[in-house]
């Protein structure tokens, strides 16, 4: 799954990479959480735009926007056919830029260790996303979800799922193609060696914690020798 990520990159560099116009109110973030606003790249009338969407998809037919709290991720294997996602899959797809995402590994019966996963090459990841516009409230609400697939070899020891990361060569087709079979074929794990992971502080567990320190690699130092120890034997 994908329940937390970061976007630590210069705004101008994002514009250059994704080919959008100026990004309104852009801020670097190190602990982006569900129900918060996220940056999404979509194409409308032949032009790429950067949009601010709430993370947690609210289908256009929903009676209550709270359904979005449960729809932060969509399984790639079923998004094409599931009622909550199929309309968006057909015509409202987006890219969600990130410089890394977090996953938690069970290391003790009552303890999970968070890891930051980042690309080995390149500056940014582009998650495959879907977006929707909900108009049954007092004002229109635009929301999104992140597609997930089975974990790549790099991450299988941490979790059995991961966000779908699309290579730049697939971005145009993901945003514009009308061929559902072509779109589904894109939703695969990354090749082995594409990602690396490091343990980080459990401060990331709380969405209230922000700042670059949340993503700093965790150093485990022996209090007697001062030497760095291996976190997990």
State how far the Cα of 44 lies from the Cα of 230, in Å rounded to an integer: 49
CB-CB contact of 157 with 192 (8 Å): no
- b/e string for 139-173 if b means 16 or more Cβ within 10 A? eebbbbbbbbbebbebbeebbebbbbbbeeebbee
DSSP per position, 149-216: EEPPTTTTTT-SEEE-B--HHHHHHHHH---HHHHHHH--PPPTTSEEEEEB-GGGGSTT--SGGGGS
Contact residues for 167 (Cβ-Cβ < 8 A; gap 6+):
none
Instruction: Give the Cα-Cα-Cα angle 104, 72, 58 (nearest 5 degrees).
Output: 170
Residues annotated as catalytic are: 2, 103
Q: Which two tokens stand for residue 109?
A: 């019966």
Q: Which residue's entry shows tokens 């950067």?
A: 50
State how far the Cα of 3 lies from the Cα of 232, in Å rounded to an integer: 23
State how far the Cα of 59 lies from the Cα of 75, in Å rounded to an integer: 15
């Amino acid at each position: 799954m994908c329940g937390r990520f970061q976007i630590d990159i210069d705004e101008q560099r994002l514009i250059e990479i994704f080919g959008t116009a100026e990004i309104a109110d852009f801020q670097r973030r190190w602990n982006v959480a569900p129900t918060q606003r996220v940056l999404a790249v979509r194409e409308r009338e032949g032009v790429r735009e950067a949009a601010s969407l709430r993370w947690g998809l609210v289908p256009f037919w929903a009676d209550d926007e709270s359904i979005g709290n449960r729809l932060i991720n969509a399984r790639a294997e079923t998004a094409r056919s599931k009622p909550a996602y199929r309309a968006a899959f057909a015509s409202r797809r987006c890219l969600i830029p990130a410089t890394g995402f977090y996953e938690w590994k069970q290391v003790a019966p009552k303890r999970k260790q968070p890891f930051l996963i980042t690309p080995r090459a390149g500056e940014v990841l582009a998650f495959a996303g879907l977006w929707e516009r909900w108009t049954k409230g007092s004002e229109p609400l635009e929301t999104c979800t992140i597609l997930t697939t089975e974990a790549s070899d790099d991450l299988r020891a941490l979790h059995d799922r991961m966000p779908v990361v699309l290579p730049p060569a697939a971005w145009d087709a993901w945003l514009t193609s009308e061929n559902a079979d072509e779109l589904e074929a894109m939703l695969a794990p990354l090749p082995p060696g594409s990602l690396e992971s490091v343990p980080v502080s459990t401060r990331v567990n709380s969405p209230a914690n922000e700042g670059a320190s949340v993503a700093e690699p965790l150093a485990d130092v022996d209090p007697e020798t001062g030497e760095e120890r291996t976190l997990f034997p």
